[in-house]
Amino acid sequence: MKKLAVLAVVVLLGAGVLADGGQIYAQCAGCHQVNGQGIPGAFPPLAGELPRIVAKGDAGRKYLIQVVLFGLQGPIVAQGKSFNGVMPPFAHLTDAEVAAVLNHVLTSWGNDKLPKGFKPFSAAEVKALRARKLTPQQVFADWKKLGLK
């Protein structure tokens, strides 16, 4: 029985079903830093900022998924500071991995002060947006619509 359970976990991991958000975040930490604080003038902080974005509801959730899938380019403001860089797309991540890394970021560094009723990101949500194939500039247009300053 035990062997079967181990095998099941290995198979699920292989399929990306049990994607480990913390492990995937290693691909983000070079820019956004291990503590999520980013680097002033270069990489925006994810700590503190992401709860503000999910508080915008569906549009905020879609924006976050699209940043990871398609990248981002344009002048944004995060935690009161300006950034105008380029984030590359992470389209090579599976749907489950995109959901897992966002859930990891949203439960780290005090980001867990999330709106009431917040639901974790799901692979299905990511899958539905992948087909949009946006450019990083189009993702920036969605940031503007959120009305964050």
Binding site for ligand HEC (CB under 6 A): 27-28, 30-32, 43-44, 46, 49, 64, 67-68, 72-74, 76, 78, 83-88, 90, 101, 105, 140, 143
Euclidean distance between CA atoms 141 and 119, whole angstroms: 25
Nearer to ligand HEC, 10 or 88 (CB): 88
In terms of CB distance, is 18 or 136 closer to ligand HEC?
136
Residue nearest to ligand HEC (CB): 28
Q: Choose between 2 and 119: whose C-beta lies nearer to ligand HEC.
A: 119
Provide the sign of the torsion angle of the four alpha carbons 30, 140, 119, 37, taken in this order: positive
Cα atoms in the 13 Å half-sphere on the side-chain side of 62: 17
**Nearest distance in Å: CB 7, ligand HEC:** 29
Provide the greatest CA pair distance for the chain: 55
CB of 63 to ligand HEC, least distance (A): 7
Closest separation between CB of residue 136 and ligand HEC, Å? Answer: 7
For residue 57, the one-letter residue type is: G
Query: Do you know the residue count of the chain?
Result: 149
29 versus 133: smaller Cβ distance to ligand HEC:
29
For residues 92 and 71, the answer to whether their CB atoms sit within 8 Å is no
